[in-house]
């Protein structure tokens, strides 16, 4: 069975799950089936190339397919946008750099702005200087191939397809893949994970990988829109589907399994509780499917804490990712890690730590050895968090 990401060691991190493309290949009109198969084959080929690149790097030989500019470390926000012009060569032709005016190319300018919004979240909220903490250039390539229905982080840079541009209007399912800032934030966060816990891309560690990316992708969007946790939509990829699709996005963090229900794409298969956990060898052991469980835990925690999700819940997840998770961490490990991080940031048995425990319990994951806490006092959730002292973040 063809998939986007079969390899745990050198995965290609794609925003569209393989099962969605396989559903189109099975249920779609002839033109839709052709382009779905094209995308599946193209991502398989890219995965194979990534394995070759990784093997060369391991052997000490610099891969010629990785342009030197991608490894540039200058400090501060440094965005580079390239145009593949419908081809496969990466990165392509440079069309916009940091501090340059908009190009007028919608996809290029969206990629530029989305990379900037992602950088701003990590720097202004968590004082992280780009993906690697060292000012790594944020490289994006747009207009990759023709009617390529995906976006991905390949370990070095972002790549975006234009969706179903070559299909008749009434057959188009996907818009351009730069249209949603949370998609951009999600994919770039795969790079952050790569430099931190480096969660294995299979089964529960892989589902955590996907979930953490959804968390920070959603926080990029919410921060740009100044949305409090309790009024945000928590949809990943809103705007990506055309009006021909019965769905609001590719995933819902609030209600996993409800993002779409379409005759061609099928029904959103995500569970939101361990009772619905999907045991499968497809999708790298269900990395895009079972990520709904930790996604919902984060939503519940962020909702209970109120305010802006990037301030408290986001800090807890960032601290767990950078200080506690390892490449083999599973869901229970993540629950324990975020619980411990909340205690360190806000105090043992604090309202924030209690919220973390309750959030995981709501999705069927109990943090061992901890007594059931009292219900929170909503009026007490606005206290100044200890994280400002721990991480050296000044008041704003």
Q: Which residues carry out catalysis?
A: 187, 288
CB 325 within 8 A of CB 197: yes
Encoding tokens for residue 161?
């397809």
Cα(246)–Cα(289) distance, rounded to whole angstroms?
A: 19
Encoding tokens for residue 55?
């093997």
Encoding tokens for residue 46?
């890219």
Residue 9, number of CB atoms within 10 A of its CB: 11
CB 20 within 8 A of CB 265: yes
| Residue 88 CB partners (closer than 8 Å, separation 6+) | 42, 144, 145
| Residue 389 CB partners (closer than 8 Å, separation 6+) | none
Cα(232)–Cα(108) distance, rounded to whole angstroms?
A: 26
Residue 335, number of CB atoms within 10 A of its CB: 24
Cα(122)–Cα(185) distance, rounded to whole angstroms?
A: 10
């Amino acid at each position: 069975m063809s998939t986007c990401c079969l390899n745990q060691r050198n995965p290609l991190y794609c925003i569209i799950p393989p099962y969605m493309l396989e559903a189109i290949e099975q249920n779609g009109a002839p033109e839709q089936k052709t382009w779905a198969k094209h995308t599946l084959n193209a991502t398989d080929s890219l995965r194979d190339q990534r394995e070759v690149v990784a093997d060369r790097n391991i052997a000490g030989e610099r891969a010629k397919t990785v342009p030197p500019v991608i490894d540039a470390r200058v400090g501060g926000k440094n965005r580079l946008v390239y145009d593949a012009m419908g081809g496969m060569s990466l990165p392509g032709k440079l069309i916009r750099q940091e501090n340059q005016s908009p190009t007028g190319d919608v996809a290029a300018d969206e990629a530029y702005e989305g990379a900037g919004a992602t950088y701003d979240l990590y720097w202004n909220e968590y004082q992280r200087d780009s993906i690697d903490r060292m000012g790594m250039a944020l490289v994006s390539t747009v207009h990759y191939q023709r009617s390529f229905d995906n976006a991905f982080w390949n370990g070095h840079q972002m790549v975006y397809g234009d969706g179903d541009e070559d299909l008749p209007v009434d057959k188009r399912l996907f818009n351009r893949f730069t249209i949603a800032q949370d998609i951009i934030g999600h994919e770039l966060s795969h790079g952050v994970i790569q430099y931190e816990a480096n969660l294995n891309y299979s089964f529960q560690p892989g589902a955590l990988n996907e979930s953490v990316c959804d968390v920070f992708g959603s926080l990029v969007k919410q921060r740009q829109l100044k949305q409090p946790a309790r009024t945000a939509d928590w949809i990943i990829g809103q705007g990506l589907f055309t009006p021909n699709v019965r769905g609001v996005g590719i995933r819902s963090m609030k209600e996993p399994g409800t993002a779409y229900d379409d005759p061609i794409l099928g029904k959103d298969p995500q569970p939101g509780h361990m009772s619905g956990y999907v045991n499968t060898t497809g999708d790298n052991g269900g990395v895009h499917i079972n990520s709904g469980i930790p996604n919902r835990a984060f939503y519940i925690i962020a909702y209970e804490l109120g305010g802006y999700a990037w301030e408290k819940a986001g800090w807890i997840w960032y601290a767990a990712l950078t200080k506690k998770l390892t490449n083999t961490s599973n869901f229970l490990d993540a629950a324990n890690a975020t619980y411990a991080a909340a205690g360190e940031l806000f105090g043992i048995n604090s309202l924030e730590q209690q919220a973390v425990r309750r959030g995981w319990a709501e999705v069927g994951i109990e943090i061992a050895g901890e007594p059931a806490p009292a219900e929170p006092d909503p009026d007490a959730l606005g206290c100044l968090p200890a994280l400002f002292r721990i991480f050296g973040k000044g008041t704003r």
